[in-house]
Amino acid sequence: MITVAVLTLSDKGSKGEREDSSGPLIQDMLKSINAEVRFYDILPDEKELIKKKLIEYSEKVDLILTTGGTGLSPRDVTPEATLDIIDKQVPGIAEAMRSEGLKKTSRAMLSRAVAGVRGTSLIINLPGSPKAVKENLHVILEVIPHAIEKIKGDPSECAR
């Protein structure tokens, strides 16, 4: 069982001015890989708050999925917060999401999402819109269990 935290980043969502559709969608999609969401929060787009929450989660779960704050708006700081606290990047995850997204819209190249490892937790930034969350998470879902196994020290060969 993969333990998960879902963190939605939205100024309006954190104030109750907008319903979060992406966080619940993530939780539903994770059922296909036998993952259990243990934490779910909505925070404003504040870099220090995001960093603090990511650090807290990384001590408690295998996987942290963020949604929101990956664009070009001045308040979009999720990638910066993530980069500040990870030990190493996993660029292929973000590259795969952008690559698949480009098949549907040229705007996918504007995503600044990152993925990385902190301790034994995998952290992945997803976009904020439910449509983009579904498309991006679909692309990477099947590799998440293998990534978690490797992060936790599985010594088996990766070759099929």
Residue 43 lies in a domain: yes
Residue 160 lies in a domain: no
Residue 10 lies in a domain: yes
CATH of the domain at 11: 3.40.980.10
pLDDT at residue 140 above 90? yes
* Number of structural domains the chain divides into: 1
Residue 88 lies in a domain: yes
What value does the CA radius of gyration of the chain take, rounded to a whole number of Å? 15
Residue 156 lies in a domain: no
What pLDDT does 160 receive? 64
Provide, rounded to the nearest whole percent, the portion of the chain with pLDDT above 90.
96
What pLDDT does 4 receive? 98
Q: What is the pLDDT of residues 22-32, one digit of tens each?
A: 999 999 999 99
Overall average pLDDT of the 102-119 stretch: 96
For the chain, the average pLDDT equals 96
Residue 157 lies in a domain: no
Overall average pLDDT of the 101-130 stretch: 97
Rounded to an integer, what distance in angstroms lies between the CA atom of residue 20 and that of residue 115? Answer: 22
Domain with 75 in it: 2-151
Residue 79 lies in a domain: yes
What pLDDT does 159 receive? 65
Q: What is the pLDDT of residues 121-131, one digit of tens each?
A: 999 999 999 99
Residue 95 lies in a domain: yes
Rounded to an integer, what distance in angstroms lies between the CA atom of residue 124 and that of residue 37? Answer: 15
What pLDDT does 138 receive? 97
Q: Are 9 and 50 in contact (CB under 8 A)?
A: yes
pLDDT at residue 58 above 70? yes
What pLDDT does 40 receive? 98
Rounded to an integer, what distance in angstroms lies between the CA atom of residue 143 and that of residue 141? Answer: 6
What pLDDT does 156 receive? 78
What pLDDT does 155 receive? 80
pLDDT at residue 42 above 90? yes
Rounded to an integer, what distance in angstroms lies between the CA atom of residue 124 and that of residue 7? Answer: 10
